[in-house]
Structure 1
Amino acid sequence: MRTGIGKTAAVAAALVLLLAGCGDGGGDSASAGGRTKVTVAALPLTDSAALYLARDRGLFTQEGLDVRIQPVQQSIQALPALAKGQVDVIASANYVTFLQADEKGTLDLRILAEGVRVAPHMMDVLVPKDSDIRTVADLAGKKVAVNILNNIQSLTLDAILDAKGVGRPVYRQIAFPQMGPALERGQVDAVHAVEPFDSAIQGELKARVLLDGGSAPVQSLPISGYVTTRTFAAEHPKQAAAFRRAIEAASKIAAQDPGAVREELPKYTKVTAGQAASIGLPAYPAATDVAQLRRLTELMKKQGLLTKSLDPATLLVK
């Protein structure tokens, strides 16, 4: 079942969309009764499953929304477009990047809904099958690939390693689609990969799982969400609320019926049905939990990814 790293990389690359042309959808009204058109930038990851479930099951339509989805390879690619109003929402937005942008003043962030939380084997630290790295302690000083430096992957992995009392690795920024080739060529000693790339790398390279990236103490930690700007939330409160209701309804479906997610994944990631049946899924919360978000902001502050304490309740769209 765990096959197709080349296909996964090609698909991810094909899904990258230059957002410069997205500006025509951000501020239009689709009816005289008010704005219904919402443009959403989204990653082709399991994190975005609720977005596509809401679309395909008519949940957005029921809320009177016309949601247009623009695929991107990294949520950070869409950050400038969000700040400029060229897109209205970013789905599967990694919280670390966007909370940092808010603190720096480059983005006036608001959180519409939670995306996913950490679950067992939704991401793994992988090493070559013949690697000399046998235990997590062996990672100290080794080169480990993460999608973005100083972000959710290094944050969670460092927390796990700190809890085990072992040394940290040296991180290298490598996009998910390129992680497998980088590991195969020996450019890095290990990769911290999320699904569906996790399964693809294991299948293609027979890579070993050294560490479950969803283990203690980061289990159930919120890692991504549906974010917008204060301006959008203030100017379009009904649309923001409608979008949140649709996402939360879809997340409830995803939480209660993982099979619905596995059925949805091949529609927007090009992951095969066989691969979708076996990959590790994250947890899909049906509602935003401030206490869980506070766990994240406190961990970020502890690791120096935020310079001051932040109450995430101040960022939630009511």
Structure 2
Amino acid sequence: MTRALRCHALVLGLAAALALSGCGGGQAPSPSAGALEKAVIKVGTLPVPDAVALYIANARGLFAAEGLTVEPVTITGGAAALQQIESAALDVSQTNYVSTFLAVSRGRKIKLVADMYRAAPDTFTIMVQKNSPIRTVADLKGKTLLVNNLGNIGTLAVTTQLKAAGLAKTDVTFAKTPFPEMGNAITSGQADAGWVTEPFITANSKALSFRTIADTMTGPTADLPIAGWVATEQWARQNPKTLAAFRRAISKAQQIASGDRKAVEAALPTYTKIDRTTAEAITLGAYPSTLEASRLQKVADLMLEYDYIDAPIDVKSVMASPDDR
């Protein structure tokens, strides 16, 4: 009888252990769990669709399965994020690739650690009011166009379309306005057009009857890499196991985001102002699960072509070593 009770207790103990190991989406712990240099990291994100994989990974226990706790921290933009990782206020952060390569060209010691978001058709467009006389990119000559940041990915994308239409960058006046404010700024006459991304493409179309005159992610910018995860060179070197754990989890979450639209729609309202109805309507970009130098090189080469940087950048030199995976 005693032996039977002991066996029963052993079975219950094993069952409890198995249940605990399955917490957080049923993910089994990684062999490296408990061996990380940092078990808790702060990760900067913007409340936009680009970063959805981070929240999917947290919700489904993908980070927990790696022995890693990720604390999202809302940031204001790529430039501020770089300062925060350099000051160690953040361990890893979202950034756009143009900001990253601009920083590298100025000697900043940073490393790309994972991919995040890539443009797709109709995800970054030039919009005008319904009754605007502007019908094509060529009609923008002498007009004022809003972008969320000057000298960054918006101006680069628009400039490629200006060139295709026979215009120069100087033929348009660029002005800086946050995406949420662009619609009202154009309506009030502060500008003639805006470079807009989702969910504001959908919002401006519905609420203000705006129309799109051009998709800026075509031709040389088709499938352009937009955003990724970045850390300092020092942090990547000092925390290889933590970096590898982050990469494994985020890659799995990117695969989920890429293959399951409903997972993205469910996650967006949890960290953005996008409600479920809007999440179902917006056009999404792509969520790559691997960081590929050949794809990212396209951004650096465009930046050189359009004088954003003075010398070529070998993107491979900006990527954290694959040996750290």
Shorter-normalised TM range: 0.7 to 0.9
Report if the CA contact (8 A) 2:43-2:71 is conserved.
Answer: yes
Q: Which residue of 1 aligns with 2:101?
A: 99
Of 84, 90, 93, the match for 2:93:
90
Q: Give a deviation string over 1:170-192, Cα, whole Å, max 9, x none.
A: 21111112212211111011011
Q: Which residue of 2 aligns with 1:299?
A: 302
TM-score (norm 2): 0.84
Report if the CA contact (8 A) 1:139-1:167 is conserved.
Answer: no
Q: Which residue of 2 aligns with 1:70?
A: 73
Q: Which moved more, 1:303-312 or 1:197-206?
A: 197-206
* 1:167 Cα offset (Å): 4.5
Of 178, 181, 184, the match for 1:181:
184
* 1:33 Cα offset (Å): 6.2
Q: Which residue of 2 aligns with 1:237?
A: 240
Q: Give a deviation string over 1:122-169, Cα, whole Å, max 9, x none.
A: 121110111111111101231111111011111112113323434442
Of 280, 285, 298, the match for 1:282:
285
Matched, 1:121 2:122: yes
Code of the aligned partner of 1:103: S
Report if the CA contact (8 A) 1:44-1:73 is conserved.
Answer: no
Q: What pairs with 1:34-183 in structure 2 (closer than 5 Å)?
A: 34-91=37-94, 93-105=95-107, 107-168=108-169, 169-183=172-186
> Which secondary structure state, in structure 1, belongs to the residue aligned with residue 117 of structure 2?
strand
Seen in structure 2, the aligned counterparts of structure 1 residues 257 and 31 have a Cα distance that, compared at 3 Å, is closer
> Which secondary structure state, in structure 2, belongs to the residue aligned with residue 172 of structure 1?
strand
Distance, in Å, in 1 between the alignment partners of 2:36 and 2:263 is 34
Distance, in Å, in 2 between the alignment partners of 1:201 and 1:110 is 36
Distance, in Å, in 2 between the alignment partners of 1:141 and 1:80 is 36
Distance, in Å, in 2 between the alignment partners of 1:167 and 1:204 is 32
Report if the CA contact (8 A) 2:35-2:241 is conserved.
Answer: no
Q: Which moved more, 1:142-151 or 1:259-268?
A: 259-268
Seen in structure 2, the aligned counterparts of structure 1 residues 243 and 163 have a Cα distance that, compared at 3 Å, is same
Larger Rg: 2
The runs of at least 4 consecutive aligned structure 1 residues that moved more than 6 Å come to 30-33
Q: Which residue of 2 aligns with 1:6?
A: none
Distance, in Å, in 1 between the alignment partners of 2:231 and 2:37 is 19
Of 305, 312, 318, the match for 2:315:
312
Q: Give a deviation string over 1:90-127, Cα, whole Å, max 9, x none.
A: 12x1111121112212x311000111111011121110
Seen in structure 2, the aligned counterparts of structure 1 residues 184 and 33 have a Cα distance that, compared at 3 Å, is closer
Q: Which residue of 1 aligns with 2:7?
A: none
Query: How many residues get paired?
Result: 287
Distance, in Å, in 1 between the alignment partners of 2:35 and 2:102 is 37
Q: Give a deviation string over 1:243-281, Cα, whole Å, max 9, x none.
A: 111111111111111221122111111211110011010
Code of the aligned partner of 1:310: I
% identical equivalent positions = 37
Matched, 1:222 2:225: yes
* 1:38 Cα offset (Å): 1.0
> Which secondary structure state, in structure 2, belongs to the residue aligned with residue 225 of structure 1?
strand
- Unpaired runs of 5+ in structure 2? 1-32
Q: Which residue of 2 aligns with 1:211?
A: 214
Distance, in Å, in 2 between the alignment partners of 1:54 and 1:216 is 33
Matched, 1:199 2:202: yes
TM-score (norm 1): 0.86
Distance, in Å, in 2 between the alignment partners of 1:113 and 1:192 is 26
* 1:85 Cα offset (Å): 1.1
Report if the CA contact (8 A) 2:118-2:223 is conserved.
Answer: yes
Seen in structure 2, the aligned counterparts of structure 1 residues 83 and 242 have a Cα distance that, compared at 3 Å, is same
> Which secondary structure state, in structure 1, belongs to the residue aligned with residue 221 of structure 2?
coil
